A and B are shown apart, each in its own frame.
Chain A
Amino acid sequence: MTSGQLSFPLVPSVYEFAQHGQSGAWVSELMPHTAKIVDDLAFIKTMHTEAINHDPGITFFQTGAQLAGRPSIGAWLDYGLGSMNQDLPSFVAMVSIGSGNGGQPLYDRLWGSGFLPTRHQGVKFLASGDPVLYLSNPPGVNSSTRRRFLDDLVRLNELTQEEYGDAETRTRISQYEMAYRMQTSVPELNDLSDESQATLDRYGPDVLKPGSFARNCLLARRLAERDVRFIQLFHRGWDQHTRLPSGIQNQARDVDQPQAALVQDLKERGLLDDTLVVWGGEFGRSVYCQGKFTEEVYGRDHHPRCFTMWMAGGGVKPGVTYGETDDFSYNIVQDPVHVHDLHATIFHLLGIDHTRLTYHYQGRDFRLTDVSGRIIEPILA
């Protein structure tokens, strides 16, 4: 958006950065809780992407291609690894709305199945109304009525099976049963009464607000405990083309305490060893100012050439920082990590060779990493 701008004044952050932990990782003062767990994290400071706009950018991050039509990461994983859970979907997506300005929409394709069969698509958990679409029985139908209905249906379907011998009927029976189990398991998942006050406090006050990032972080831990394969939290509101100082402060406050709590909580419960946490966005922001520029008011445009992500747990080496940019954070000078590389690394950590998880479609073996992808060995434990 700033390509027509006449000048590009470099704007340092109004917020202080300092080194933390034994690893000495640099963290902004906006992330005090995260600063305390840096020794559990592996920072990648040299992410780069091919897209400069939200839609192609986030679609690229989620599906390995800028245009719609490919499966999302979670759909690939469900296709490749299958489910470990009989009561919940194996791929869950949750969206929270940030306190900063500039929220961008998040489209269903970001957790969609693309050309994979739709059973691999992510199920979006919702903060208001039914937590999963159509989960609640209609008025007048309670759980026992529903059970009797399903019992009838099983018998009917079995008759069909006998008469037509179509194996799909068995699948249908089992899917209805899983739907019934979800009617119990999803509310149970959302019921936080078995969480200690200390745990709730750790995630911060927002944890009591359904739909907040904090609540979703806690739910993510509960889903991980229940062996849900792939859990993705989206937090909106990072698009500070203008008025960045106030916007970023609010956004950082939204996520800092909950995300640190999530990593710690997983660690204390022994879940972090086999849970990979990945944190980041679809691109970075420009080091120069967009729009009005005063000491307190400035904005930043999209910047795909370098940006930072972190990973934790699941076979990642803790307490490392990988990659180096130039002094202006404009270009990478050492160890670039492309989105395909990140995907390859995530797959590797989950035990998948990214070159071999393929799906034959329109005459071609497609994969998440297209024809590239390099595993980032130095951050592996």
Chain B
Amino acid sequence: MHSFGQANDSPTYTEDILPIFTSTCLDCHGPDEARRMLNLRLDTQDFLRSHIVPGDPEASLIFQRITVEDGIRVMPPTSSGRTLTAEQIETVRLWIVSGAEWGTELTGDERAELEQAAERQVVFAREVRPILSRNCFQCHGPDDQNRQMGLRLDNPEGFAGHPGAFGGPAVIPGNAEDSLMYQRITAEAESFRMPRDREALTPDEIETIRLWINQGAQWESHWAFIPPELPTLPNTSNPNWIKNSIDNFFLERLDQEGLSPSVEADKATLIRRVTLDLTGLPPTLEDVDAFLADNSPNAYEKVIDRLLQSTRFGERMAVDWLDAARYADTNGYQTDGERTMWRWRDWVINAFNDNMPFDQFTVEQLAGDMLPNATLDQRIATAFNRNHSLNAEGGIVPEEFLIEYAVDRVATTSTIWLGLTMGCARCHDHKFDPLQQREFYEFSAFFNNIDERGKGFKYVNSPPFIAAPTNSQQEQLDELDGRLAQARVEFAAMEEAIELAQEQWEDALLGATDIDAEVDWNLRDGLVVHHPLDGDISGVHAGSLAEATLENGLPHFVDGRIGAAANFDGERYITAGTSPNLGYENEFTLSAWVFPTTDTGVIFSRANEGDQGEVGWGIYLEEGKLRLNLTTRVLDDGVAAETIHSVQLNRWQHITATYDGSKTPGGMRVYIDGVSQELEGLLDLVGNRLPQRYPLRIGASGSSKPNFQGNLDDVRIYDRVLTPEEVAVLATVDSISQIARIDSADRTTAQSDKMRLSFLNQYASPDIRAAYSEVRELERERKHMWDGFPTVMVMEEMFPRRPTYRLNRGVYDAPAEEVFPGTPSILPPMPDGEKNRLTFANWLVNPENPLTSRVAVNRFWQSYFGSGLVKTADNFGSQGEFPSHPELLDWLSVTFQESGWDIKEMQRLIVTSATYRQSSAVTPEMAEMDPENRLLSRATRMRLPAQMIRDQALAISGLLTERIGGPSVGPYQPDGLWDDIVERGQEYRLSTGDDLYRRSLYTFWKRTRPAPAMITFDSSTRETHIVSSTRTNTPLQALNLMNDVTYVEAARALAQRAMQQGESANDSLVICIDSPPPASRMLMCFPYSPVLIPCIWKCMNPIGQPHCNLFQRVSPPVMRL
């Protein structure tokens, strides 16, 4: 090559120009097809014809582009970091002026050298790893158990170090042809070619691997496991376009691709877009007018401030989070009964509205219960990991589902915070990511240490759950507690007077010698059934006389414990009406004096023989043990417990059984002679309801159980749980006159209690009794109030901790070695010390964790642009997509952390970027170069999410009821939609009044049959966690929008609004779509109204025929531009 400039020597392409182009242009316009931009190739003669006018540099496109002065079109692009010197430009000019001669053709070697020089540099993480992951890792990856030939390709040792079954390492850096890997992927014989039994790699993929090996086979860790660092902002061609740092990254990439950003969307479009995106509702007419009229430079920023302050923001943000957290109002699975988790849903809304930092948002939901002095709200937050489905089907193996619940928590937590598909490592080592099966179970050990039920309750929350009063309920409670405390103080102040009065009363009792003056008292508070059996079998039920019938014989009475007692011979028994109804959820106390002569027999019951054993409730003697039994099916549906010790035969004993409505044996207490007994739980599988059809039988049940033999006396049922003290009093047979004769120091506690209770309830002066009953009344009121509070299922630690085992093949009954809580070794270790849910949650949001922040900002991103920077928002592992803009992702994630995890600031950052504000119109060039809009040379035009479509129709029609939180509501849905799926009592409850028009996130969510208006528009079913959804277009959507009563009503309401308020057609349209003319834009939305349709046609299409049908509608707007 000679020096140019000698007078007679015209420059030629091969000698003078090619060296310049090689160093600056051929990377993108050279021999490499994969990297070539705009199909322009500057190293062959073809371009001379189309881009060069020999003799006229000014007319030659190449020369124009290297000399243009604006920063956007100049070549090479600013962002490439390459420039042409003035001298080089002059050489090009001279070459064209002199006729643009080609010169001597290059030799083969020269051309090879040239291609080498222009060869693209392969980036392992972006280009090679995905090929390996997709095609090779399944057999040559992290899965130790199934690795083929010992060859591992997901770590650097595997490549170079592997001796290979065929000799030599898999890869010889710098020498693709001799590398086994390259030989095997290019082998012609299918038996030899890799990947085995799968399609061969494409030529592009093979070329990428060849280049990578030849370029030295540099190995890099998977990008997502390397902690992000704050990248420097790239320089770009057009600093004026940039609104914030996000734009630098986008513009740099657009520059590289030779694309330009779109113009900013018009203001009307922009305010509708950002209002929908940040609040889920469209702007009002006033909002639009104000924005259009505001010409200040920060008009847009002011709108953002307003929207971020709106409480609608929290509702909008909550929708995506509810999908991710698989929130629902039913338990899922077979019967899909109702649960109550809305207090958690409201917690989420409030957290977003309060701008709770994301790290706190994380820790409270995962481990709020373990924070020091955890508040009610912090405990409610942990419902996050109780949102999963809960199986209540009869016959399931509870242990199996305990595993499923822990697995669900692992999968959900790892997807949402780490973007890892940990669920894949349940049965075997992960096939693609370095996650071992053992690590899966170590991870699960954080989430299974909870005293929960494998078989859940069918219709209500399953333990552990807590009462979760709302703020206003808490205020009512506080007020009541104030009154209760006051009443207690007032009562306590009377203590001395009471003692004195009681002494005087007891003295008076002693003084009475007349036998008629013998007095007694018994506990009547909550007494609903009482059969004294004193020579008469009838009783008092709920305050009224209740007739009873003696079956199988004649009444026979003997001396009793209190007066007479009824004698039972194993044949005769008493029936006495069909009350009270005692179900699994009711509190009650059963008691009687018993004198058994055999060790087995029914004391009293409301039960019958069913197809599968006894159905109903009862208290029995079973081989001497005292048993309280509530069963729907004897084997697997009910709750029962019995005493460890036996009662004594042929002796009077007082028995009491209490049940607190908790549906577990733990809620049962049994007393003999006032002494609490140790119990053994026999059945803990409540599912269905307890039938209430059978008569109250004393001494028998309707089943095959033997009737009672012996004597029974003083049968009682209370509708509350008696305290141990009260039970002891009940078991105290001595009358108060008798006790009065005992010196107070010699009385038993029960005797003293009986004296005191009878005095306070019955014999004290009115002022004492009033003070006493005031306290009792308020206590009752408090309990009633408390029982009425919504509950929410929460996480709670269990001690001792539940052991965790690795499960062979992931099966519940195949435990292998025990494992302990731990995090995957591929991630930074947890600090030393205790490993539990709380330390785990703190570890997640530790700045060293490379994933949490990236995964979170990526999810935010996708809600504004339709797709995340990593498109696979649920998978940042090896099989996930390499980020479209890796530096931006890192910049955002570091910025998010450094802002103190400020969620609102992150949203503000995104929506104030120029990238976000672009128009969404698509040019054919964009459609061809970037059909999915991953480069964001335009904003993304998106169909609205399901909830937003409905909410918007409600808003623009004026029907929307805005009220935050509360129990879920039942808006319109087709009649009978649930009929074939629900059990009695679980039917759809259509709301009334303004609850019909609440925002869609408050719609009752039934997992096995979600609202069609949601599911038809691609909402998640909430059966599993979903962090990104597809958006489809189906005829069912069209039918829904055309014919659902919700939209018909909205149309009518909007029409009325337009007519009554006399709004111009234009204004009405603006209400709908927030866009003034030109009509073409507004029209994609619709007129709901008879007034509007002709107007639309007039302004849009002068030759169109107007149609004016009452309440005719076009179509609700489903797009956001």
Partner-B contacts on A (CB < 8 A):
1-5, 52-55, 67-69, 89, 95, 97, 103-109, 112, 117-119, 123, 128-130, 132-138, 140-141, 145-146, 148-149, 152-153, 155-157, 159-160, 162-168, 171-172, 175-176, 178-180, 182-183, 236, 241-243, 290-292, 297, 299, 301-302, 362-364
Instruction: Say whether B1035 contacts A55, CB under 8 Å.
Output: no
Q: A129-B976, A140-B1110, A145-B1112 are in contact. Are A166 and B1039 (CB under 8 A)?
A: no
Provide a sorted-by-A list of 23 A–B residue pairs whose CB atoms are within 8 angstroms.
A1-B635, A53-B391, A55-B334, A67-B1024, A118-B1016, A118-B1034, A119-B1034, A129-B976, A133-B974, A133-B1036, A138-B1045, A140-B1110, A141-B1109, A141-B1111, A149-B1107, A156-B1114, A172-B1033, A175-B1035, A176-B1038, A179-B1035, A362-B415, A363-B432, A364-B421
Instruction: Say whether B922 contacts A95, CB under 8 Å.
Output: no
Q: Which residues of A contact B1016 (CB under 8 A)?
A: 118, 133
Q: What distance in Å separates the Cβ of A324 from its nearest Cβ neighbour in chain B? A: 28
Q: Which residues of B contact A175 (CB under 8 A)?
A: 1033-1035, 1037-1038
Q: What distance in Å separates the Cβ of B876 from its nearest Cβ neighbour in chain A? A: 10
Instruction: Say whether B1015 contacts A68, CB under 8 Å.
Output: no
Instruction: Say whether A107 contacts B1040, CB under 8 Å.
Output: no
Q: A53-B396, A146-B1042, A152-B1114 are in contact. Are A178 and B1104 (CB under 8 A)?
A: no
Size band of the interface chain B makes with A? 35 or more
Within 8 A of A (CB), among B390-442: 391, 393-396, 404, 415, 421, 423-424, 431-433
Instruction: Say whether A152 contacts B1080, CB under 8 Å.
Output: no
Instruction: Say whether A53 contacts B334, CB under 8 Å.
Output: yes
Choose one: B633, B1048, B1104; the contact of A1 (CB below 8 Å): B633
Within 8 A of A (CB), among B1061-1118: 1080-1081, 1083-1084, 1086, 1093, 1100-1101, 1104, 1107, 1109-1115, 1118
Instruction: Say whether B1039 contacts A299, CB under 8 Å.
Output: no
Cα of A68 to Cα of B404 in the assembled complex, Å: 12
Question: Is B927 an interface residue when CB atoms closer than 8 A count as contact?
Answer: yes
Closest residue to A132 on the B side, CB-wise? B1039
Question: Is B693 an interface residue when CB atoms closer than 8 A count as contact?
Answer: no
Q: What distance in Å separates the Cβ of B939 from its nearest Cβ neighbour in chain A? A: 11
Q: What distance in Å separates the Cβ of B681 from its nearest Cβ neighbour in chain A? A: 14
Cα of A149 to Cα of B1107 in the assembled complex, Å: 9
Choose one: A108, A137, A301; the contact of B1008 (CB below 8 Å): A108
Q: What distance in Å separates the Cβ of B437 from its nearest Cβ neighbour in chain A? A: 16
Closest residue to B415 on the A side, CB-wise? A362
Cα of A1 to Cα of B393 in the assembled complex, Å: 10
Cα of A69 to Cα of B395 in the assembled complex, Å: 23
Q: Which residues of A contact B174 (CB under 8 A)?
A: none
Q: What distance in Å separates the Cβ of A284 from its nearest Cβ neighbour in chain B? A: 15
Instruction: Say whether B394 contacts A1, CB under 8 Å.
Output: yes
Q: A4-B635, A133-B1040, A182-B1039 are in contact. Are A165 and B611 (CB under 8 A)?
A: no
Q: A129-B975, A156-B1083 are in contact. Are A123 and B1033 (CB under 8 A)?
A: no
Q: Which residues of B contact A183 (CB under 8 A)?
A: 1039
Q: What distance in Å separates the Cβ of A151 from its nearest Cβ neighbour in chain B? A: 9
* Interface hit among B14-22, B82-90, B561-569, B877-885: B877-885
Q: Which residues of A contact B1084 (CB under 8 A)?
A: 156-157, 159-160
Closest residue to B927 on the A side, CB-wise? A165
Question: Is B981 an interface residue when CB atoms closer than 8 A count as contact?
Answer: yes
Q: What distance in Å separates the Cβ of B632 from its nearest Cβ neighbour in chain A? A: 12
Question: Is B81 an interface residue when CB atoms closer than 8 A count as contact?
Answer: no
Closest residue to B1032 on the A side, CB-wise? A119
Contact with A along B1013-1057 (1 / 0, CB 8 A): 001101001011000001011111111101111001000000000
Cα of A155 to Cα of B1083 in the assembled complex, Å: 9
Cα of A68 to Cα of B1021 in the assembled complex, Å: 10
Closest residue to A5 on the B side, CB-wise? B635
Q: Which residues of A contact B1100 (CB under 8 A)?
A: 159
Q: What distance in Å separates the Cβ of B399 from its nearest Cβ neighbour in chain A? A: 12
Choose one: B332, B394, B1012; the contact of A133 (CB below 8 Å): B1012
Cα of A108 to Cα of B1006 in the assembled complex, Å: 10
Question: Is B874 an interface residue when CB atoms closer than 8 A count as contact?
Answer: yes
Cα of A291 to Cα of B704 in the assembled complex, Å: 13
Closest residue to A128 on the B side, CB-wise? B976
Q: Which residues of A contact B431 (CB under 8 A)?
A: 364
Cα of A135 to Cα of B1042 in the assembled complex, Å: 9
Top 10 nearest A-B pairs (CB, nearest first) are A363-B879, A242-B611, A107-B1008, A179-B1038, A1-B395, A68-B1023, A165-B922, A179-B1035, A291-B612, A178-B1035
Cα of A175 to Cα of B1037 in the assembled complex, Å: 8
Instruction: Say whether A105 contacts B981, CB under 8 Å.
Output: yes
Instruction: Say whether B1039 contacts A133, CB under 8 Å.
Output: yes
Instruction: Say whether A242 contacts B1040, CB under 8 Å.
Output: no
Q: A118-B1015, A133-B1036, A163-B1080 are in contact. Are A363 and B424 (CB under 8 A)?
A: yes
Cα of A152 to Cα of B1085 in the assembled complex, Å: 12
Q: Which residues of A contact B1115 (CB under 8 A)?
A: 153, 156, 176
Cα of A68 to Cα of B1083 in the assembled complex, Å: 41
Instruction: Say whether B974 contacts A130, CB under 8 Å.
Output: yes
Closest residue to B979 on the A side, CB-wise? A128
Cα of A262 to Cα of B955 in the assembled complex, Å: 50
Choose one: B941, B1007, B1010, B1118; the contact of A164 (CB below 8 Å): B941
Cα of A130 to Cα of B1048 in the assembled complex, Å: 16
Within 8 A of A (CB), among B607-665: 610-613, 633, 635-636
Q: Which residues of B contact A108 (CB under 8 A)?
A: 1008-1010, 1015, 1021
Contact with A along B689-726 (1 / 0, CB 8 A): 00000000000000000000000000000000000000
Within 8 A of A (CB), among B869-914: 872, 874-875, 877-880
Question: Is B980 an interface residue when CB atoms closer than 8 A count as contact?
Answer: yes
Choose one: B613, B878, B1023, B1040; the contact of A363 (CB below 8 Å): B878
Q: Which residues of B contact A112 (CB under 8 A)?
A: 1021
Q: A54-B393, A105-B982, A128-B976 are in contact. Are A176 and B1035 (CB under 8 A)?
A: yes
Q: Which residues of A contact B1038 (CB under 8 A)?
A: 175-176, 178-180
Question: Is B462 an interface residue when CB atoms closer than 8 A count as contact?
Answer: no
Question: Is B335 an interface residue when CB atoms closer than 8 A count as contact?
Answer: yes
Cα of A219 to Cα of B1045 in the assembled complex, Å: 28
Q: Which residues of B contact A160 (CB under 8 A)?
A: 1080, 1083-1084, 1119
Instruction: Say whether A364 contacts B424, CB under 8 Å.
Output: yes
Chain A CB count within 10 A is highest, among B336, B395, B1107, for B395
Choose one: A1, A69, A165; the contact of B924 (CB below 8 Å): A165
Q: Which residues of A contact B1039 (CB under 8 A)?
A: 132-135, 179, 182-183
Instruction: Say whether A69 contacts B1024, CB under 8 Å.
Output: yes
8 other A-B residue contacts (CB within 8 Å) besides A118-B1030, A164-B922: A1-B395, A1-B612, A107-B1007, A178-B1038, A179-B1042, A302-B395, A362-B872, A364-B424
Closest residue to B431 on the A side, CB-wise? A364
Instruction: Say whether B404 contacts A363, CB under 8 Å.
Output: no
Instruction: Say whether B1024 contacts A68, CB under 8 Å.
Output: yes
Q: Which residues of B contact A243 (CB under 8 A)?
A: 611
Q: A53-B396, A129-B976, A297-B611 are in contact. Are A134 and B1012 (CB under 8 A)?
A: yes
Q: What distance in Å separates the Cβ of B1023 from its nearest Cβ neighbour in chain A? A: 4
Q: What distance in Å separates the Cβ of A298 from its nearest Cβ neighbour in chain B? A: 9
Closest residue to B1019 on the A side, CB-wise? A118
Q: Which residues of B contact A134 (CB under 8 A)?
A: 974, 1012, 1036, 1039-1040, 1042-1044
Q: A68-B1024, A164-B941 are in contact. Are A118 and B1032 (CB under 8 A)?
A: yes
Cα of A112 to Cα of B975 in the assembled complex, Å: 21
Question: Is B114 an interface residue when CB atoms closer than 8 A count as contact?
Answer: no
Q: Which residues of A contact B920 (CB under 8 A)?
A: 164, 166
Closest residue to B920 on the A side, CB-wise? A164
Instruction: Say whether A138 contacts B1048, CB under 8 Å.
Output: yes
Instruction: Say whether B927 contacts A107, CB under 8 Å.
Output: no
Instruction: Say whether A363 contacts B1045, CB under 8 Å.
Output: no
Q: Which residues of A contact B756 (CB under 8 A)?
A: none
Question: Is B769 an interface residue when CB atoms closer than 8 A count as contact?
Answer: no
Closest residue to B683 on the A side, CB-wise? A4
Q: What distance in Å separates the Cβ of A204 from its nearest Cβ neighbour in chain B? A: 22
